[in-house]
């Protein structure tokens, strides 16, 4: 299983549903709470002019109607995860995380 699909399953487990979307097109009708994620960056460590370790960074956005969503803490507890910001749009609460996976 690819690392991205492994992350997808972890996020589905946290939500307890399949409302997890990787780079969804605008035509997708989402059910909330939901997680939207995309690849943000690839960090590469070099040695002897060769890339020897690469780690993908994912931007994860939790979207929930509840401003005190129980999923914020669960996602924040993932290893190498950092909460970036919170904002509101369309009467929904968005919590954005950066996760190295």
Report CA dihedral (25, 30, 11, 14) to the nearest 10 degrees.
170
Tokens representing residue 17 in the block: 């549903």
Give tens-digit pLDDT for 17-39: 999 999 999 999 999 999 999 99
The pLDDT value given to residue 54: 87
**Which residues are CB-contacts of 74 (< 8 A; sequence separation ≥ 6)?**
14
Is 23 in contact with 8 (CB distance < 8 Å)?
A: no
Max intra-chain CA distance, the chain:
51
What's the whole-model pTM score? 0.90
Q: How far apart are CA 87 and CA 90, in angstroms?
A: 10
Cα distances (Å, whole numbers) of residue 38 to 66, 79, 86, 101: 23, 18, 17, 12
pLDDT tens for the 101 residues of the chain, in order: 699 999 999 999 999 999 999 999 999 999 999 999 999 999 898 988 898 888 899 999 999 999 999 999 999 999 999 999 999 999 999 999 999 99
The pLDDT value given to residue 1: 65
């Amino acid at each position: 299983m690819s690392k991205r699909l492994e992350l997808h399953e972890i996020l589905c487990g946290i939500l307890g549903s399949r409302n997890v979307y990787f780079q969804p097109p605008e035509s997708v009708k989402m059910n909330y709470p939901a997680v939207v994620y995309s690849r943000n960056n690839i960090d590469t460590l070099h040695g002897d002019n060769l890339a020897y370790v690469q780690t993908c960074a994912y931007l994860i956005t939790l979207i929930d109607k509840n401003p005190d969503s129980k999923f914020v803490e669960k996602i924040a507890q993932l290893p190498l995860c950092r909460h970036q910001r919170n904002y509101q749009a369309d009467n929904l609460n968005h919590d954005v995380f950066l996760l190295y996976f």
